[in-house]
Amino acid sequence: MSSDPFINGLKAIFAANPSLKPARVSKEAGLSQSAIRKLFENDGSSPTLRSARLIAAVLGMTFEEVVAQSGDAPLNIRPTIAIAGKVGAGAQVPVFDAYAKGDGPQVECPPGLSPHGVVAVEVEGDSMEPMFSAGDLLFYTRDSHDGVPADVIGHRCVVEDEDGMGWVKQVKAGDEPGLFHLISLNPGANTMWNKKLKWAARVRLAWPAELARKA
């Protein structure tokens, strides 16, 4: 264990929140990507007060709050979930995986939802009104890397089609095996018939934009 209470508090925060990455926090604090990792590896090291305050600010905390985590005080930082990209309902939105792995924005995990294995996408445009609005976040879990599990049929899903476009649609079986009808959530929009999909995942939670807290 380090002799520096700030470093010990920082270690406790990362241990309690696996989705936080030292390299990302270091970079957002304006430091070298390896800054926090080096602090963790060298038990005798201590950050400058300026660096410590910059790191704390990225975590949404004060220097003193980070230090407090080195004791038995309860952690006061919520786990976060990665935002993978954006999806549309009517307009084509080819921005899945728009961010390099681990480099995209994060959003605080909504109460009652486990962050493990969960990914979020942001709604783009008004084509899903009134069910979803621009900026709303949809949370889902992909049970398999590819394919459309049988248990998603008939449900609202985040999907990626064979052209790499991201959509939020109700998925129904198509006229032939391997094809799917994508039913629009907006009654005024067109249904997409007999589409091939790379994958589909059922929407677990829709979170309004005004409640989302990006980390």
Percent of the chain with pLDDT over 90: 34
Lowest-confidence range among 37-46, 59-68, 82-91, 177-186?
A: 82-91
Parse the chain into domains and list their residue ranges: 5-68, 80-211
At 39 the pLDDT is: 93
What's the rounded mean pLDDT across residues 179-183?
95
Alpha-carbon distance of 37 to 16, in angstroms, equals 16
Tell whether the model's pLDDT for residue 181 goes beyond 80: yes
Question: What pLDDT digit, counting tens, does each position of 8-56 carry?
Answer: 999 999 998 888 899 999 999 999 999 999 999 987 788 988 899 899 8
Hey, which residues does 166 pair with through a beta bridge?
A: 160
At 110 the pLDDT is: 85
Mean pLDDT, rounded, of the chain: 83
Strands (E), the chain: 80-87, 106-108, 119-123, 137-140, 156-161, 166-173, 180-183, 192-195, 197-207
Spatial neighbors of 177 by CB under 8 A, at least 6 apart, are none
167: left (phi over 0), alpha (psi -120 to 50) or beta: beta
| More confident of the two residues 2 and 19 | 19
Superfamily of domain 5-68: lambda repressor-like DNA-binding domains (1.10.260.40)
Q: Scanning the structure block, which residue is given the tokens 């792995």? A: 101
Q: Which class for 104: exposed (0-12), middle (13-18), buried (19 or more C-beta within 10 A)?
A: middle
What's the rounded mean pLDDT across residues 189-205?
90
Spatial neighbors of 12 by CB under 8 A, at least 6 apart, are 69, 70, 75
At 96 the pLDDT is: 55
At 72 the pLDDT is: 45
Question: What pLDDT digit, counting tens, does each position of 120-169 carry?
Answer: 888 877 656 667 788 899 999 987 777 899 999 999 998 888 888 888 88
| More confident of the two residues 62 and 22 | 22
User: Domain 80-211 classified CATH 2.30.30.240?
Assistant: no
Q: Quick one: how far is CA 108 from the chain centroid?
A: 8
| More confident of the two residues 99 and 178 | 178
| More confident of the two residues 91 and 165 | 165
At 97 the pLDDT is: 52
At 75 the pLDDT is: 47
At 13 the pLDDT is: 92
Alpha-carbon distance of 160 to 23, in angstroms, equals 29
The first and second tokens of residue 38, run together, are: 């080096």
